[in-house]
Chains A and B, each alone.
Chain A
Amino acid sequence: MRKTLVISFSLRNTYRVNAILYSLRQIPILKRLLVQSLYKVRALKVIANIFSFVWEVLSAFLGKFLYFATMITGLNLLYENQNPNEVFLHILLFLTIIGAFMNTYMFNPTKDKYYAMILMRMNSKSYTLVNYGYSILKVIIGFMPFAIYFGLSKGLIIWQCILIPFFVASAKVAFAASALIYYEKTSCVANENSMDKFKWIAAGLLLIAAYVLPVLGVVIGQSYALLIMILFVVLGIVSVVKIISFQKYHEMYRLILANSMMQMENAKELSKQLSQKSISENTLVSSNKKGFEFLNDIFIKRHKKILWKSSIRITIIFSFAVLGLLAALFIEPSIKQSVQKFIFEYFTYTVIIMYSINRGSGFTSALFMNCDHSLLTYSFYKHPRQILKLFTIRLKEIIKINLIPAIVVSIGISLSLYVAGGAPHTWLYAVIILCILSMSIVFSVHYLTLYYLLQPYNAATKMKSAIYPIIMYATYFLCIILMNIRLSVTYFCLIMIVVCIIYSITACALVYFLAPKTFRLRT
Chain B
Amino acid sequence: MYLKIEHLSKKFEKKQVLNDICFTFESGKIYGLLGRNGAGKTTFFNCLNRDITFESGNFYLGDNNILRRITSEDIGYVLSVPAVPEFLTAREFVKFFLDINKGVIDEIQPIDKYFDYIGIEAEDRDKLLKDYSHGMKNKMQMLVNIIAKPNILLLDEPLTSLDVVVAEEMKLLLRSLKEERIIILSTHIMDLALDLCDDIVLLNHGILEAVDKNNLSSAEFKEKIITALKEETHA
Mark A residues whose CB is within 8 Å of B. Answer: 35-36, 276, 279, 281, 283, 290-292, 294-295, 298-299, 302-303, 370-371, 373-375, 377-380, 382-383, 386, 459, 520-521, 523
Contact = CB atoms under 8 A, between A and B. Distances in A.
Contact of A386 (B13, B46, B100): B100
A279 B51 CA distance: 28
Nearest to B104: A380
Contacts of B113: none
A283 B128 contact: yes
Chain A CB within 10 Å, residue with most, of B51, B76, B77: B51
B145 A378 contact: yes
Contacts, number: 73
B126 A459 contact: no
A322 to B, nearest CB: 35
Given A290-B99, A523-B51, A523-B52, A380 B148 contact: yes
B72 A380 contact: yes
A279 B128 contact: yes
B144 interface: yes
B97 A302 contact: no
Contacts of A281: 128
A188 B85 CA distance: 42
Contacts of B155: none
Contacts of B138: none
Given A520-B51, A523-B52, A302 B87 contact: yes
B130 to A, nearest CB: 5
Contacts of B148: 380
A405 to B, nearest CB: 24
A56 B88 CA distance: 48
Nearest to A371: B85
B79 interface: yes
A370 B87 contact: yes
A142 B45 CA distance: 54
Nearest to B52: A523
B84 A523 contact: no
A376 to B, nearest CB: 8
A374 B84 CA distance: 5
16 contacts: A36-B13, A279-B86, A283-B126, A290-B99, A294-B99, A295-B88, A298-B87, A303-B87, A374-B86, A375-B83, A380-B97, A380-B148, A382-B72, A459-B79, A523-B46, A523-B52
* In the A-B complex, the 5 residue pairs with the closest CB atoms: A374-B83, A379-B72, A291-B99, A377-B83, A291-B100
B130 A279 contact: yes
B127 interface: yes
A375 B100 contact: no
A288 to B, nearest CB: 12
A459 B156 CA distance: 14
Interface of B: 13-14, 46, 49, 51-52, 72-73, 75-77, 79, 81, 83-89, 92, 95-97, 99-101, 126-128, 130, 144-145, 148
A523 B84 CA distance: 18
B77 A377 contact: yes
Given A386-B100, A459-B79, A379 B87 contact: no
A292 B83 contact: no
A281 B128 CA distance: 8
Contacts of A36: 13
A380 B73 contact: yes
Contacts of B96: 291, 294-295
Contacts of B72: 379-380, 382-383
B67 to A, nearest CB: 21
Contacts of B97: 380
Nearest to A292: B100
A370 B51 CA distance: 20
Contacts of B101: 380
Contacts of A370: 85-87
A383 B144 CA distance: 16
A297 to B, nearest CB: 10
B146 to A, nearest CB: 12
A276 B130 CA distance: 7
A291 B104 CA distance: 14
A295 B85 CA distance: 10
A377 B155 CA distance: 12
Contacts of B86: 276, 279, 370, 374
B24 to A, nearest CB: 22
Contacts of B83: 373-375, 377, 459
A374 B99 CA distance: 18
Contacts of A386: 100
Given A377-B77, A377-B79, A279 B95 contact: no
Contacts of A291: 96, 99-100
A379 B73 contact: yes
A386 B87 CA distance: 20
Contacts of A35: 13-14
Nearest to A281: B128
Nearest to B148: A380
B52 A298 contact: no
A283 B52 CA distance: 36
A73 to B, nearest CB: 48
A373 B79 CA distance: 13
Nearest to B88: A298
Nearest to A32: B13
A389 B100 CA distance: 11
B117 to A, nearest CB: 19
